[in-house]
């Protein structure tokens, strides 16, 4: 067990923010997540957090995963005092952070996300993991499934993927797995690339458009300047920023502000 006092972090908001689909509520104030082949439970009581892992594992995996080295309070204080919409969005989503997630998982996840909602995406990802991923157990005997590697997805093929209710997205997922295996989608190169280069390479791939590429850049590569524009964000821009979002003012971290905006609109529509 590891305990930390952490500001600017709310598990419920992150679980519902549309960036992470393997973080689920287990019971009141407790969320479970699976990432990098590991399973973790986190209990939140205000700004105190208990993690079901050793101090070593926390330092090696989860501290970085939760982006705890970034001062989100400082970023929020930079919001234009006259931008009442953005201030409201920040207040509502105050505990959202950009998780540093696995690149391959984010490629598949945001291929699944196309023309989809959070509930269906979550179900699709869990079914993919339980069908094609690897079954694992914690020291306490709790079963969980890892996210399937490209080899496992390619081996499963359309014969399996077509049974998972992914619709037309199954072809994109299989294509991505095959591209990783034949080298035309180079994950290591993407990890080392800058935002513009990574985005340009991603949109070359079958099924990846500009918005999905931006989601992968933001959530899988931590390019926090990426600013995905989906139907929610497009509506926000039309209503509150008809002259365009002030990217220059927020250069280098606009993607964090986009998450506050997206979450605010998601809740408004609920």
Alpha carbon of 236 to those of 65, 244, 245, 260, 265: distances in Å? 29, 10, 10, 11, 8
Burial of 116 per CB tally in 10 Å (0-12, 13-18, 19+) = middle
CA distance 16 to 19: 8
Alpha-carbon torsion (125, 127, 128, 129), positive or negative: positive
Residue owning tokens 């598949």: 108
CA distance 7 to 91: 14
Provide the b/e sequence for 231-246 (b: ≥16 CB within 10 Å): ebbeebbeeeeeeebe
Q: Is 211 a catalytic residue?
A: yes
Residues whose CB falls within 8 Å of the CB of residue 15, separated by 6 or more in sequence, listed in order = 23, 24, 25, 31
Active-site residue identified among 38, 76, 200, 211: 211
Residues whose CB falls within 8 Å of the CB of residue 267, separated by 6 or more in sequence, listed in order = 92
Q: Which positions are annotated as active-site residues? A: 211
């Amino acid at each position: 067990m590891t305990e930390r006092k952490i500001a600017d972090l709310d598990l419920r908001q992150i679980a519902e923010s549309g960036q992470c689909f393997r973080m689920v509520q287990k019971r009141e104030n407790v969320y479970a997540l699976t990432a990098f082949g590991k399973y973790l439970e986190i209990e939140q009581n205000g700004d105190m957090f208990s993690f079901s892992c050793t101090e070593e594992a926390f330092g090696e995996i989860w501290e970085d995963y939760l982006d705890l080295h970034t001062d989100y309070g400082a970023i929020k204080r930079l919001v234009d005092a006259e931008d009442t919409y953005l201030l409201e969005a920040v207040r509502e989503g105050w505990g959202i952070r950009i998780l540093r997630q696995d690149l391959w998982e984010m490629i598949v996840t945001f291929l699944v996300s196309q023309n989809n909602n959070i509930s269906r995406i979550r179900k699709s990802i869990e079914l993919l993991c339980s069908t094609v991923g690897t079954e694992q157990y914690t020291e306490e005997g709790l079963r969980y499934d890892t996210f399937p590697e490209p080899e496992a997805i390619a081996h499963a093929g359309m014969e399996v993927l077509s049974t998972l209710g992914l619709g037309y997205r199954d072809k994109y997922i299989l294509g991505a797995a095959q591209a990783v295996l034949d080298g035309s989608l180079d994950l290591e190169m993407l990890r080392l690339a800058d935002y513009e280069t990574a985005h340009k390479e991603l949109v070359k791939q079958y099924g990846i458009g500009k918005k999905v590429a931006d989601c992968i850049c933001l959530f899988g590569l931590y390019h926090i300047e990426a600013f995905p524009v989906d139907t929610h964000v497009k509506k926000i821009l039309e209503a509150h920023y008809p002259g365009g979002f002030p990217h220059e003012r927020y250069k280098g971290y606009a993607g964090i502000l986009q998450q506050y905006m997206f979450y605010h609109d998601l809740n408004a529509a609920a």
